[in-house]
Amino acid sequence: MPVAPGMPVWPGDPEVRARLCSSIAAGDGCDVTALVLSTHTGTHIDAPAHFVAGAAAIDAMPMELMTGRALVVQVEDEICIRPEHLPSCLKRGDRVLFRTPNSMRRLAGFDEDFVYVSAAAATALAEAAVALVGIDYLSVGGFHTECVETHLALLAAGIWLVEGLHLAEVPPGVCEFICLPLRIAGADGAPARALVGV
């Protein structure tokens, strides 16, 4: 997701702000931008520490986790991802990216009714011991329900999360995935740049 003022953010999180603190137009030697944003802005990674006190923070992320083959799973459900939507082939260490109707509906503001991972599906993903779960909106858990339960089921199992993906142009199936966060010391998450090769 492009990071820009006015972009949708989780309600209560700080709005993205960008201000030139040095400006060529104003006679300074260069442009320098001061940014205000949360660690969960746009495309970002949730570290286990996001919901589990004392768990791994973003700067402890194993780099190999975010580079390699991933499985893009298409889910058409308009509400949530349930256990029956999960492929039976999932195994330990897999990277799973969910492509849902979220990728097709890009609203200007925050969409409270985004498709999320149900707590039951999160538990099944944890039991399968996948390494990484990605979703195409700002949270794996729902806005109205199952936000804490889903996050906890995944993060307490040591599964790292990528949120805010945009998968409209990415076909279902296996892809090469690269997603590297900013190395913010001790942080619960960080914005990231995600690339997919098919």
Give the footprint of Zn ion on this chain (CB under 5 A): 40, 46, 163
Q: Give 182's contacts (C-beta < 8 A, 6+ positions apart).
A: 58, 190, 191, 192
Q: Which residue has the tokens 């700002």?
A: 138
Name the residue nearer to Zn ion (CB basis): 35 or 198: 35
Q: How far is the CB of 82 from Zn ion (least distance, A)?
A: 21
Least Å from the CB of residue 40 to Zn ion: 4
* CA proximity to 125, closest of 171, 103, 157, 101: 157
From the centroid of its chain, how far is CA 22? 32
Residue 104's CB: how many other CB atoms inside 10 A?
Answer: 10
- Is 85 an annotated catalytic residue? no
Active-site entry in 40, 44, 50, 151 = 50
Residue in 22, 48, 46, 25 with CA at minimum distance from that of residue 34: 22
Q: With respect to Zn ion, which residue has the nearer C-beta, 146 or 163?
A: 163
Least CB distance to Zn ion at residue 161 (A): 7
* Closer residue to Zn ion, CB minimum distance, 23 or 147: 147
Q: Which two tokens stand for residue 156?
A: 């307490």
Closest chain position to Zn ion (CB):
40
CB of 88 to Zn ion, least distance (A): 28
User: How far apart are alpha carbons 61 and 16 in whole angstroms?
Assistant: 25
Q: Are 117 and 133 in contact (CB under 8 A)?
A: yes
Closer residue to Zn ion, CB minimum distance, 46 or 136: 46
Three-state secondary-structure class, residue 103: helix
Active site amino acids: 50
